[in-house]
Amino acid sequence: MQLRYSFRMYPNGPQRSALARAFGCARVVFNDALRARETARTAGLLFVTSGELSKRVTAAKKTEERAWLAEVSSVVLQQSLRDLDTAYRNFFDGLRGKRPRMGAPRFKSRKDNRQSIRFTANARWKITTGGDLCLPKIGDVRVKWSRNLPSTPSTVTVIKDAAGRYFCSFVVETEAQALPNTADQVGIDLGLSHFAILSDGTKIESPRFLRRAEKKLKREQRRLSRKAKGSNNRTKARLKVARAHAKVTDARREFHHQLSTKIIRDNQAVAVEDLAVKALARTRMAKSVHDAGWSAFLAMLEYKAARYGRTFRRIGRFEPTSQVCSQCGVKDGPKPLSVRVWKCQACDVWLDRDSNAAVNVAKAAGLAVSACRARASRGPVPAQREEAGTHRDGQSTVVGISSL
Residue-level pLDDT at 344: 81
Rounded (10°) angle between helices 232-266 and 294-307: 50
| Reported pTM | 0.83
Known catalytic residues? 189, 273, 354
pLDDT 10s digits, 219-256: 999 999 999 998 999 999 999 999 999 999 999 999 99
Residue 403: pLDDT band (50, 70, 90) is: very low
What is the average pLDDT across 163-178?
Answer: 91
pLDDT 10s digits, 173-208: 888 888 999 988 999 999 888 899 998 888 999 999
User: Would you say 270 and 188 are in contact if contact means Cβ atoms under 8 Å apart?
Assistant: yes
18: left (phi over 0), alpha (psi -120 to 50) or beta: alpha
- 297-330 core/surface letters (b: 16 or more CB in 10 A; e: else): bbebbbebbebeebebbbbeeebebbbbbbbeee
Residue 343: pLDDT band (50, 70, 90) is: confident
Residue-level pLDDT at 375: 61
pLDDT 10s digits, 93-137: 999 999 988 899 999 999 898 999 999 999 999 999 999 999 999
User: Would you say 292 and 195 are in contact if contact means Cβ atoms under 8 Å apart?
Assistant: yes
